[in-house]
Amino acid sequence: LYAVLTTLCRMLAPFVPFVTEVMHQNLVRGIDPFAPASVHHAGWPQAEPAAGDEALLERMSLAREVVTLGHSARAGSGIILRQPLAKALVHLAGRPHQPDDEALALVREELNVKEVAFVSQPEELVQYHLLPDNKVLGPRLGERLGAIRSALASLSEGTAGQAAAAVEKLRAGLGLSVELDGEKVELAANEVIVREEPREGLAVASERGVTVAVE
């Protein structure tokens, strides 16, 4: 905090000369009598790229995402924030870092939950339903649209992880391949609608590979 305040003081000095001078006298000269007599005599701050902790920034960014989605899940189901809840469940897709203990403590406090737990599969939190986009696929496939709908329904109800893998591909902008009467039909990402249905007893929100559910 001290580094932030004193650095910001020097950066703002040309624009806010008097307030920053008071800050400099209190924060810098008040501690170090050998420091420049005025903030306007001090050197301009230099960037220190080596001082950045990218892993910490990534973990805190992720913690903020989890909190935002947790608030969204609460709001979507009408659960007020001051009502404590037992648990928040989190699934992270393709993230190299998880929030550390300090960040998780902040998440628990911000979401007002007693525990934050991570799950390995998003299908533990939501059930995916894949549907054809009739407006797009209707003109292209005509009478075969019903068969495509059935194939996507089978994929939605398939083995554990199958639907989640399909959804991950679609959200990455990749297409899906479904089989109709022995023939493979390629579906573009914009031709398939993904709907999420929370598992019983959960309120869920998701975005960019992060899914958060509160009990």
Query: H helices within the chain, ranges in order?
Result: 2-12, 17-24, 54-76, 101-111, 134-141, 145-156, 162-171
Q: Any bridge partners for residue 204, and if so which?
A: 213
Report the pLDDT value the prediction gives residue 160, as an integer from 0 to 100: 60
Is residue 186 within 8 A of residue 170, CB to CB? The reply is no
Question: Which stretches of the chain drop beneath a pLDDT of 50?
Answer: none
The structure tokens 């869920």 sit at: 204
Report the pLDDT value the prediction gives residue 96, as an integer from 0 to 100: 67
Q: Which helix (H) or strand (E) covers residue 187, if one does?
A: strand 183-187
HSE-CB at 92 with a 13 A cutoff on CA atoms is: 15
Query: Which residue in 105, 117, 186, 119 sits closest to 151, CA to CA?
Result: 186
Query: Which residue in 149, 144, 113, 106 sits closest to 129, CA to CA?
Result: 149
Tokens encoding 173: 């902008």
Q: Any bridge partners for residue 72, and if so which?
A: none
Is residue 23 within 8 A of residue 39, CB to CB? The reply is yes
Report the pLDDT value the prediction gives residue 147, as an integer from 0 to 100: 86
